[in-house]
Every structure is written in C-alpha cells, then in structure tokens.
A and B are shown apart, each in its own frame.
Chain A
Amino acid sequence: MALVLFFPKGRWHVSSRAFVILLPFLVIAAFWVMARYEARTVHDPTHKSYWERNGMVLGILFIVLVALWTLFLVTLPYLYMVVESFHPRLPPMKRFGPEDYLTLEQYKSLFVSPVDKEWNTTHLYAFFYTIVVSSAVTFLNLCICYPLAYFMAQAGSVQQVRLLMLGLIVPYWVNEILRAFSIRLLLAAKGLINQGLMGAGLTDAPIDFLGNNTGMWVGLSYANLLIMMFPLYNAIESLDKNQIEAARDLGAPWWKIHRDVVIPYAKPGIASGCTMVFMLAAGSLAAPLFLGGPNTLWFTAIVYDFFFQAFNWPRGSAYAFLLLAACITFVMIMLRLFKVKLGEAIR
C-alpha cells in the first residue's frame, strides 16, 4: 500500500497524500536530532542529557509514543483534511488517477458557486453571519461572566461561591443535545416562558423565541459559559485583594477600580476566555441546529452537510479551513488591538 502511495502507477512521483504518511518518521527524526543537539550543546557537568536521564530504551519509547500520539491522533487527521481540501471530489476508483490533481477549486467555491459561476452569496452570508454572531456571543458571555467571576473570586463568601460553582457546573453533566432541547422546551410557543408571559398578561400571543433566533443566542451563550468563566475566575482569583483596597483607599470609585486594576490584571484571562468561546461558538453545531430559526444558515452546519449529506469531503474541509483561518486571523487582530501577547492568552 505504502509503495503504491509512493510510486503510483510505477511513476517516480511522491503524491501529496504520501507526504502525510511520511511525516511521523520525519518528526521522530527531528526529536532524535533535538536530543542529540541537547547532549552536545549543554556544557553544565551536572546537567544530564535526555538519554542519560531516561536511558536508551525508555528514551526511544518516549519519543516514539509522543510522536505517534501527537501525529496519528492529533496532527495527521488535520493534515489529511488539509491535503483533501486541495483535491477535486472524486469517486474512490478515480483517486490517484489522472484526474486527481492539486487544485484550489474547493476554496474558490465558497466565493464563486461552481454551479452557476455567480457569487456564492448564501454561503458567504452564512460565513460572515457565523463570525459576527460568534463574536457577539463572546461579548455577551464576557458581560455575564465578568461580574460572576469577580463575585466568586473576590467578593463572595465561601458558602456562596461553592453554591454558585455547583449551580454552574451541574447542568454541564447533562448531554449537550439534551440541554439544547431543554432550552427549546423552555422557549417553545407553548413553553414555560411563553405561558408565564401570557399568564402574567404581558403578551397576548406567544413570542416566537426560536424563530427570531433568541433560542440560538441563549444556547450558544449557555454552552460556552463555563469556558469563559474559568479563565476569568482564575485570573481574578489570583489578584491580591489589597490591590483593590489600595485603589479604593486612594479614592477610586468601583468602576475605576475595575477599569484600572482588575481588568488590566485579568486581561490575559479575558483574552483566553474570549478566544476559546469565540472559536467554540463559531464551530458549534448543536445550538444553531436545534435552537436556530428555520432561515438561519450556520456555517458549521454547511460544513457538516458537505461531509455527511453530500459526501463532498474536499469541499467540506476547504470550508472548514477557511472558517478556521478567518477565526484565527480575527482572534489575532483582536489580541493585537487589546495589546495581549499570544503567550498570555493561551496560558
């Protein structure tokens, strides 16, 4: 099989797919070189080299295990998708044949529809809609979580914090889809909230929370609440209480204390939480699918359909990578704007 990959149809041609198979060996070699380099460059006599620390057998085992784990379970599947996205969609029989060439047409198809050669407005709209809604959800979560995290980290008593933590975590023991459906039940036309509103006489007809996308917003925010909560809590929790009191003692009202002392200190945590929530919201499937309105086209759902409905893996991967690239670019720009170093945000 490997030989076929290396030399398809007897030609001396290393296909792009073979490159993926070769990579683990290259990385193992790189590890090896790094270990040799360390042994040669460190002159501290008390410093034990990698091989002295672990011995030859264990040393090799560690390298091979780490390399295999990162490569086969993490990197390779992605790399396979990358490679796939640069190929045309072909039935299995025609793979490695003359029609199997490297192409950018899958990437182009997001912008120009391959069917009618017009602008692919439906998908482009979904693409930007996803990014805009995800950033709005991120901001919303930040607004919800910052006061909560501050309360838990600095203001609340041990008892209150424990209770709050429990209330936050326990719902996450429930399956994500089940949670989405329970929100749906709450927000449905004859759901609890509409019945309550009508019972109180606030509205005559039920409000279409699901159709107007309220459900999607609630679902997206709630699914990622803890992801925002914990980095924020961690960051604020390590802030010395005396700093807050010092600012207060120097005459600062509460909002200036937050502006000048707490938020600058918690900035890495805020950046980390926002990055993760944004990435996860943009990639989420359940909430937009179950809670979104009938006309809402979520980009991840389109990718999902390419993979599992149309069996068009190349185009699905191309779309997924375009979304990934756009999200990473967006995050980078935001980090730069708020002057956070990447290292701080992924701490």
Chain B
Amino acid sequence: MSAGVDLDGVTVRFGNFTAVNNANLAIKGGEFFSFLGPSGCGKTTILRTVSGFLDPSAGKVRIAGQDMAGIGPNKRPTALIFQNLALFPLMTVAENIAYGLRVRGIDRVTRRKKAEELLDLIALPGQGDKLVSELSGGQKQRVAIARALAVEPQVLLLDEPLSALDLKLRQHMRNELRLIQQRVGITFIYITHDQGEALTMSDRIAVMSDGVIEQVADGKTVYDKPETAFVASFVGENNPFPGRVSKASADEAVVDTAFGKLKGRNPSGLKTGDKAILFVRPESFKLGKGAEGTTLESPVKNVAFEGNMTHVFLKGAGKKDITLTVGRHGSSKVPDQGEKATVHYTDGLGLVLPEGKMARE
C-alpha cells in the first residue's frame, strides 16, 4: 500500500534560478515526512516535482523504486492536497470526494459507497450532499483529505494545508492528520514553514534553506542536535553568539565572543581559530551565577510575563536580544528592566557550530 519516495540528486532550475539543488533523500514507506523551511526555500518545488507537475532539471524521482521520469501527475500513485485545498465549488461534497474514482470510470453506486466510507473516516457522516461552500474551514480541510485518499494513493502530498486555519483548529487538525495517517498507513509528505507542525506530526523532518536540504532527522534530533547554523537558528528559538574558537577538544570548544569566552559541545570538530557560532536555547539559561557552567552578564531590556513562563530580554551584542525563558517556580527573582542580570548555562547545553547562514528573523 505505502511506497517509499527516493530523490536522487534532484535539481530543479527555473531559468537561472536554482529552486532545489541536488536533493538526496530516501523517504520510507508509511513515514510521516516533513519538509520544513522558510518560504521560498524550495520545499513546494520538491513537492510539485514528486507529484509530477514539475520535471527535475537533473536527477531522478523514484516512487516505490520506480523511476517517475515521463509519468504525468495523473498517472502517479500520489495525491496532492493543495494549500488552498482546490475543492471543486460546483460539485457536492460526495462528488468532490469521488471525483478521482469518476475519472477512472468507476460506477456511480461504488463511488457513492466509497464516498460514504471516507466521510465516516473524516467524521463528516451523511454530509455528502452538501455543497462545499456550506462547510466550515476545518470541514473543507477534511474533505480535501478524503478526496485525495479516495484514489488510494501510495503517497499523500500535503502543501501547507493547515495554513489557512485559525490557531485552535490548526492544532486540532495536527492530531487529526496524524491519526488519519496512522489509520491509512500510507506515506505522508508534508510541507510547512511552521516548525510546531513539523515537530509534532512528523517521523522525520528535512530542514531546507535556499534550495538545499540542511539536515534530515527526527524532530528531537533536529531540535537538540542541529548540524548547521541555519537549522539551529530556524528550528525553535536560539541565541547565537558568533566568535572564534579559542580552545577546542573532541567534545568541547570555547568560543571567544562579545560576552567573553563561552563553552559548548563541539559536534562538528572545530579547531582553534575557526569562525564559529555558539548557540544557547532560551530555556537552557538559568538566572544567577551557576556553581559550574558558563556565566554571562548583560542589562535587562524588557521582561514579558506570559502566564506559565516569563521571557526576559537581555541586551545582545548586535541588534538581536538575548532571550531567556524563566519557569513559574524558579528559585531566583526575575530581574527588573534596566537591572544588570547574571545568567548561566550548563556547558553541555551550549552548542558550537561552524559559522554559516542564519535564518532570517
């Protein structure tokens, strides 16, 4: 039922512009796989290449091991869910869902039956005769999913389908999508610029930037062990401290930054003198002077109370503030605006990565 998707050196060019540059990936059958990246990073281009609307300028797309070159979108075992859903406004809900079966010449009764089944699956039983315009945003969403599932694709491609929904509904639909994927057991390839969506739903995530796949890993790895400065700065909040490595070992490195010598893990094996960025997550900082670990000081620019936590913004070296997140029941008093704050972090929570392109704020 489910098929893996392989990208072998896929490059897509539009004139002089390279939208996707040498993408190599093996998406396993039955996997929930996400492409995460800012807009214009080439993730939609990859999706359109897999679905067959675009031909790669170089490289191959294989679905279930079969080369897809020359096979049009209407002949591939994929189904695409569009960002704006693209439901057919002049057809009823059931006609929409069964359209893929209709073009395959399947008779009316079977079509209707299949549509009813899928309406049950998406929890809209008996709503087949409604017009699409009579549905709410979340219901339209589910109809789009049902329409794609009706043709029994081996791979379902989703192009930011939740972006048009409001926050509450979006969070609800995340769970729903995950459940549907587990129920039907086919490969889902999901495109999003929302890291929350990618992290909560996916088995694995490919983080993309400017047409290049920066890292492929599960959500936890991408968050805890980013491999490039871009991934570190794009996935989750992060505080960058650029500088030069002043001391390095296999495990740890010390970076000479505007805030003094800061220590962190050294997974990329940087050497003394290399240009580097040390990243510390806002939740890794603790207020006050630590018994061990690295300590730094800076005046407080702003304090934002957010209920379950408080964000503290310290003056950074450049334009960007240093942010830290303080839990509700911490031992130290949250400093006031204008005060000089002392914060520290455990060395294992600092991460030294080679200097590179960062995500735009």
> Which residues in B have some Cβ–Cβ distance to A below 8 Å?
51-53, 72-75, 78-80, 82-84, 86-90, 99-100, 102-104, 147-148, 151
Contact = CB atoms under 8 A, between A and B. Distances in A.
B193 to A, nearest CB: 18
Interface pairs A-B: 10 shortest CB-CB: A242-B86, A250-B100, A246-B86, A252-B103, A242-B82, A249-B80, A251-B74, A249-B73, A264-B90, A248-B74
Contacts of A248: 53, 72-74
A240 B74 CA distance: 18
A247 B103 CA distance: 9
Contacts of A264: 90
Interface string A236-266: 0000101101111111110010001100110
B99 to A, nearest CB: 6
Interface string A120-163: 00000000000000000000000000000000000000000000
B73 A260 contact: no
Interface in A259-309: 260-261, 264-265
Given A250-B99, A250-B147, A253-B103, A245 B86 contact: yes
Contact of B82 (A246, A251, A253, A261): A246
B192 to A, nearest CB: 18
A253 B74 contact: yes
B103 A249 contact: no
Contacts of B51: 249
Contacts of A246: 80, 82, 86-88
A251 B88 contact: no
A interface secondary structure, majority: helix
Interface of A: 240, 242-243, 245-253, 256, 260-261, 264-265
Contact of B151 (A251, A256, A261): A251
Given A240-B84, A243-B86, 9 more contacts: A245-B82, A248-B73, A248-B74, A249-B73, A249-B79, A251-B75, A252-B103, A261-B88, A265-B90
Contacts of A261: 88
Given A245-B73, A245-B80, A246-B80, A251 B103 contact: yes
A249 B99 contact: no
A251 B100 contact: yes
Contacts of A247: 88, 99, 103
Contacts of A249: 51-53, 73-74, 78-80
A181 B80 CA distance: 54
A242 B87 CA distance: 9
B99 A240 contact: no
Nearest to A250: B100
B14 to A, nearest CB: 13
A251 B90 CA distance: 19
A245 B53 CA distance: 8
Contacts of B147: 250
A264 B91 CA distance: 10
A244 to B, nearest CB: 9
